[in-house]
Amino acid sequence: MRIRAAIAVPAASAAAAALLLTAPPAHAAAAGPRPAPCVQGALKLRASTVPGRPTVVRVSATNVGGRACAVDRVPLVTFGGLDGAALPLPAGGTGRLRLAAGETVHADVRTIVRTSDPQARRARSVTVGDWAGRWGRVFTPARLGTGPQVSVWEPVTTWWQPSPAAADRALGLSRG
């Protein structure tokens, strides 16, 4: 067994190196220093329901700072008075996303599939932020346009997307 392990490790290392050297540029790691995480005040957050879809909230974050900063790839979305957070769709999504100064990203949050679901809970607010608590904002149901409360059951959120249309596609609201 020692001989196979001694051969397998260098062979696996060589294969990994070959893949990295032949990877297309789109898959290569970005060169240069990584931007610092965005902090409170560097981002302007907006949220409202998607027109015609009262159970879907569109969130946007704009870097209003003078330099690039990084956000988590998936926004942290929680619901006032309830435990837990919206799950990322697709699953995973860990990592950072670089936001240039002035750049805006968008995410769609489906709070519930059917408002008539007997297991639905009612939230007094929706909070959008990052997983480390560096920034965030609380939105009331009136501000979102959901009525007096936000209906919640098994909520999901898309990863940050470059446009509202991309966020809609990621949630399955539109094709294209």
φ, ψ of residue 101 to 5 degrees: the values are -55, 130
Q: What is the tens place of the pLDDT at every residue in 96-148?
A: 999 999 999 999 999 999 888 899 999 999 999 988 888 899 999 999 998 89
Question: How many domains are contained in the chain?
Answer: 1
Q: What is the tens place of the pLDDT at every residue in 79-90?
A: 998 989 999 999
Domain residues for the domain of 144 are 43-171
Q: What is the tens place of the pLDDT at every residue in 39-85?
A: 989 999 999 999 889 899 999 999 999 999 999 999 999 999 898 99
pLDDT of residue 112: 94
Report if residue 125 sits inside a domain.
yes
Q: Is residue 79 classed as helix, strand or coil in its secondary structure?
A: strand
34, pLDDT greater than 90: no
Report if residue 14 sits inside a domain.
no
Exposure string for 80-118, b = 16+ CB within 10 A, e = fewer: bebeebbebbeeebeeebebeeeebbbbbbbbbeeeeee
What pTM did the predictor assign? 0.78
Report if residue 115 sits inside a domain.
yes
